[in-house]
């Protein structure tokens, strides 16, 4: 805190300085005693009262702290320290807009105070007021032009406002009057940031000059190559750009982005899965073949080729791709090939390839494997065939092959996990949980198997059993039943989703929401924790990563984990709408209270803080369809290509009585060639379409009729 604005006797002034040091060192109890000593002599000393209020707040005497600060403001409404203290308390309460107002009020009484300027700028980041952030940072540069962090912050402010040229110019001025950083990493990051700014502002030649000038200073060789390739591409030097992208691929990083960039150089359009659009496959395969000729060990290119190549060459390339996995007995082959199943034609040929392998191995023909005879090869082929038939929905065949694999090697834990997956697909959740737990018991040190076993217990609605299984890999419980607090504190997303869906199946929709809404709670907490991170960024030159963090913070709705929560949230709110708030609250069974007898005071405090931070106790059940619509829109925006999204949309908009939006969802399903579209159309015609026809606007009804006729044809 700043020194006192009112004059104190010399002895009390020393105590005031001591109090500030104790507060800065988080010695709050000592600081409180020191403030008592000052106030015993000067009971209306405003700045001491303000700091005392801040100390009381940090001692968890929050109301008393606020009252003390407000008393200080009443004594002197023009006290910078009092308003600054109020802003700091509001910031700790995560009230960033109110904190910003208090900080600005403090600044009006001391316009050059760098501490207040820094706090105003930090609050501006939290509320995304970039213009004001830039204004504050420019004032800090004016006040202290020798501080590198001030220059970097100004550059970042210009970039956030879209002024890339100004941002680059600020960095040029900074590096002309001081070093770019204190350590090699800081210097490297500053120079890479400068290059990125030049590329954004349309100055690729200047970017190349910077890369050449600071080549020895830039540590991140892969990013340096990638930026050089982008600069050449912007200059139209496609040959040089291709050469650089090939070097990036050879380094084993950014392979997907680099191959996509090579396609862009040749104007080959790609879909969201980075596959060429129809009519461009041949040219794209030439790129992949060229990459593989130069770098035969590029796994991404070898695997990606299977997604893109013509079907007549698919079997041969798939067999060549899968053979090394089987030779080295790598289980990830099952997940590596998973995405191929979106194409039914390729999925059918996958089974043919592995069936041919099975016939060869049963005939003792190991020619495909270089003549190497290994009895385990047939084990992995049978296991993959079990996985294949599970994905194709032929559960009888899947059981046949997994049983063969288990008979071959009954001690391999992954086989029982595959059997659990097959049983789960059949809806036999209890048997699936039993098999997953058997797999876990074969290797008690494997956390992956432990998590899988817990997950299958949750899917069988055995929540307590699943949590006790998770507890095996957690620290020893302080009190019985606190596993869920540990899982929530660790931001274990799969746990929150699985438990939320388990409660949904059990009909306890409040408990379901208490878990399903935790992702947003974590996101909010992470956003608040970033408040302490921003100033570090400018001191340590981590601004390139910081922009990525800001984007992630602002675009929660695009997060793939969050989007997995959305369908369950939509369905839960639909059930709340159907059953009514009173019935839903009556069906809620709260978790048992934790027994905190014979627990130390520190542990009790920790557990209660966990409950405050991670337990959603007051679930709002009002306007459930409005809340559900928010999550439905997220899915429609970011998962438009998935049939499950539009099937859910049909259900939801039928309940919401919005025939036009139901028709829109049916049209999407028709375009996606969903097999049950006609059944959904028939249900729509017999239900909402018929009942809402008389009350629907004629223009809307005409559009609905047109869509229904089109998808019914």
Please answer whether residues 591 and 508 qualify as being in contact, where contact means their C-beta atoms are separated by less than 8 angstroms. Answer: no
Give the residue numbers spanning the domain of 5: 1-110
Q: Is residue 97 part of a domain?
A: yes
Contacts 24+ apart (CB under 8 A), 703-712: 703/660, 703/663, 704/659, 704/660, 704/663, 707/663, 707/664, 707/666, 707/667, 708/663, 708/666, 708/681, 708/684, 710/667, 710/670, 711/666, 711/667, 711/669, 711/670, 711/677, 711/678, 711/681, 712/678, 712/681
CB atoms within 10 A of CB 637: 12
Rounded to whole angstroms, how far apart are CA atoms 529 and 524? Answer: 9
Opening angle at CA 112, ends 111 and 115, nearest 5: 105
pLDDT band, residue 489 (cuts 50/70/90):
confident
Rounded to whole angstroms, how far apart are CA atoms 435 and 311? Answer: 37
pLDDT in tens, 631-660: 999 999 999 999 999 999 999 999 999 999
Whole-number pLDDT of residue 633: 97
pLDDT in tens, 22-60: 999 999 999 999 999 999 898 889 999 999 999 999 999
Q: Is residue 621 part of a domain?
A: no
Q: Is residue 328 part of a domain?
A: no
Least confident of 198-202, 238-242, 585-589, 613-617: 613-617
User: Which position has the token pair 């020798």?
Assistant: 146
DSSP state of 131: H
Task: Kindly tell me if the per-residue pLDDT of 2 is higher than 80.
Answer: no
More confident residue, 553 or 4: 553
Q: Which tokens sit at 557?
A: 């709705």
Residue ending a domain, among 110, 128, 146, is 110
Residue ending a domain, among 56, 75, 110, is 110
Whole-number pLDDT of residue 195: 97
Residue ending a domain, among 110, 130, 164, is 110
Give the DSSP H or E segment for 345: helix 344-362
Task: Kindly tell me if the per-residue pLDDT of 3 is higher than 70.
Answer: no
Task: Kindly tell me if the per-residue pLDDT of 713 is higher than 50.
Answer: yes
Nearest to 388 by CA among 366, 413, 421: 421
Whole-number pLDDT of residue 342: 86
Whole-number pLDDT of residue 6: 67
- Phi, psi of 270, deg, nearest 5: -120, 150
Q: Is residue 47 part of a domain?
A: yes
Q: Is residue 61 part of a domain?
A: yes
Task: Kindly tell me if the per-residue pLDDT of 287 is higher than 60.
Answer: yes
Task: Kindly tell me if the per-residue pLDDT of 1 is higher than 80.
Answer: no
Please answer whether residues 92 and 120 qualify as being in contact, where contact means their C-beta atoms are separated by less than 8 angstroms. Answer: no
Whole-number pLDDT of residue 5: 52
Alpha helices (H) along 490-623: 493-506, 509-516, 518-529, 534-540, 543-554, 560-579, 581-587, 601-614
Q: Is residue 367 part of a domain?
A: no
The CA-atom distances, in angstroms, between 182 and each of 188, 546, 692 are 10, 19, 70
pLDDT in tens, 596-624: 888 888 888 888 888 888 888 889 999 99
Q: Is residue 323 part of a domain?
A: no
Rounded to whole angstroms, how far apart are CA atoms 167 and 170? Answer: 5
Which whole number is the average pLDDT over 247-262? Answer: 93
Whole-number pLDDT of residue 531: 87
Q: What separation, in Å, do the N-terminal and C-terminal C-alpha atoms of the chain show?
A: 74
- Phi, psi of 302, deg, nearest 5: -65, -45
Opening angle at CA 329, ends 324 and 334, nearest 5: 85
Average pLDDT, the chain: 93
Rounded to whole angstroms, how far apart are CA atoms 290 and 262? Answer: 11
Task: Report the number of distinct structural domains present in the chain.
Answer: 2
Q: Please report, for the domain that includes residue 88, its CATH number.
A: 1.25.40.10
Whole-number pLDDT of residue 4: 41
Q: Is residue 95 part of a domain?
A: yes
Task: Kindly tell me if the per-residue pLDDT of 551 is higher than 70.
Answer: yes
Which whole number is the average pLDDT over 443-460? Answer: 96
Please answer whether residues 704 and 660 qualify as being in contact, where contact means their C-beta atoms are separated by less than 8 angstroms. Answer: yes
Give the chain's radius of gyration (CA, Å): 31
Which whole number is the average pLDDT over 253-270? Answer: 94
CB atoms within 10 A of CB 327: 17
Q: Under the phi-then-psi rule, with left for phi > 0, alpha for psi from -120 to 50, and beta for the rest, what region is 520? A: alpha
Half-sphere exposure of 325 (CA within 13 A, CB side): 21
Return the SS3 of 385: helix
Return the SS3 of 270: strand
């Amino acid at each position: 805190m700043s020194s006192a604005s009112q004059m104190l006797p010399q002895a009390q002034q020393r105590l005031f300085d001591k109090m500030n040091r104790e507060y800065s060192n988080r010695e709050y109890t000592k600081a409180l005693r020191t403030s008592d000593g000052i106030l015993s002599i000067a009971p209306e000393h405003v700045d001491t009262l303000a700091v005392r209020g801040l100390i009381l707040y940090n001692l968890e005497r929050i109301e008393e702290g606020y009252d003390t600060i407000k008393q200080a403001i009443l004594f002197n409404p023009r006290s910078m320290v009092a308003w600054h203290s109020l802003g700091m308390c509001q910031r700790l309460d995560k009230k960033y807009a109110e904190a910003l107002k208090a900080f600005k009020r403090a600044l009006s009484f001391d316009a050059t105070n760098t501490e207040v300027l820094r706090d105003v700028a930090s609050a501006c980041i939290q509320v995304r007021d970039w213009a004001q952030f830039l204004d504050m940072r420019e004032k800090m540069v004016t006040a202290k032009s020798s501080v590198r962090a001030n220059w970097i912050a100004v550059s970042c402010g210009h970039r956030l406002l879209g002024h890339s040229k100004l941002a680059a110019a600020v960095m040029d001025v900074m590096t002309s009057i001081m070093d770019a950083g204190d350590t090699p990493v800081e210097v490297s990051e500053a120079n890479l940031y400068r290059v990125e700014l030049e590329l954004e502002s349309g100055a690729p030649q200047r970017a190349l000059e910077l890369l050449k000038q600071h080549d020895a200073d830039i540590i991140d060789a892969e990013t340096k190559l990638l930026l050089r390739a982008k600069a050449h591409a912007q200059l139209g030097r496609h040959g040089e750009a291709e050469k650089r992208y090939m070097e990036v691929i050879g380094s084993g990083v950014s392979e997907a982005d680099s191959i996509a960039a090579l396609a862009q150089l040749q104007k080959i359009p790609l879909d969201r899965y980075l596959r060429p659009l129809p009519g461009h496959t041949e040219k794209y395969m030439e790129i992949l073949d060229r990459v593989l000729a130069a770098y035969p060990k590029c796994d991404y290119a070898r695997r990606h080729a299977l997604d893109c190549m013509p079907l007549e060459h698919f079997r041969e390339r798939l067999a060549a791709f899968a053979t090394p996995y089987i030779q080295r007995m790598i289980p990830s082959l099952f997940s590596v090939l998973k995405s191929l199943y979106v194409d039914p034609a390729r999925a059918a040929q996958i089974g043919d390839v592995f069936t041919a392998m099975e016939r060869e191995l049963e005939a003792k023909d190991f020619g495909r494997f270089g003549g190497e005879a290994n009895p385990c090869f047939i084990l992995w082929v049978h296991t993959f065939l079990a996985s294949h038939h599970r994905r194709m929905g032929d559960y009888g065949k899947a059981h046949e092959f997994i049983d063969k694999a288990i008979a071959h090697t009954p001690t391999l834990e992954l086989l029982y996990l595959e059997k659990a997956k097959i049983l789960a697909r059949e809806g036999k959740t209890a048997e699936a949980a039993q098999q997953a737990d058997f797999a876990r018991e074969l290797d008690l040190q494997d956390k992956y198997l432990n998590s899988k076993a817990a997950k299958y217990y949750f899917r069988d609605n055995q929540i307590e059993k699943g949590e006790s299984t998770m507890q095996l890999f957690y620290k020893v419980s302080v009190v019985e039943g606190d596993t869920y607090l540990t899982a929530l504190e660790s931001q274990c997303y799969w746990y929150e989703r699985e438990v939320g869906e388990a409660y949904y199946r059990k009909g306890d929709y409040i408990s379901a929401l208490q878990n399903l809404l935790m992702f947003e709670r974590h996101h909010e907490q992470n956003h608040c924790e970033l408040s302490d991170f921003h100033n570090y960024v400018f001191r340590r030159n981590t601004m390139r990563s910081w922009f990525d963090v800001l984007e992630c913070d602002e675009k929660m709705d695009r997060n793939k984990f969050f989007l997995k929560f959305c369908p369950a949230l939509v369905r839960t709110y639909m059930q709340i709408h159907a059953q009514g708030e009173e019935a839903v609250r009556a069906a809620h069974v709260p978790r048992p209270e934790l027994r905190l007898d014979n627990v130390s005071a520190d542990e009790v405090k920790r557990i209660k803080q966990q409950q405050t931070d991670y337990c959603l106790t007051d679930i709002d059940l009002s306007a459930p369809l409005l809340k559900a619509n928010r999550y439905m829109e997220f899915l429609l925006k970011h998962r438009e290509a998935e049939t499950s999204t539009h099937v859910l949309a049909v259900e939801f908009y039928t309940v919401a009585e919005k025939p036009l939006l139901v028709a829109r969802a049916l049209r999407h399903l028709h375009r996606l060639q969903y097999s049950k579209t006609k059944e959904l159309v028939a249900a729509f015609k017999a239900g909402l379409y018929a009942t809402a026809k008389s009350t629907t606007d004629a223009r809307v009804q005409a559009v609905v009729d047109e869509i229904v006729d089109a998808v019914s044809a």
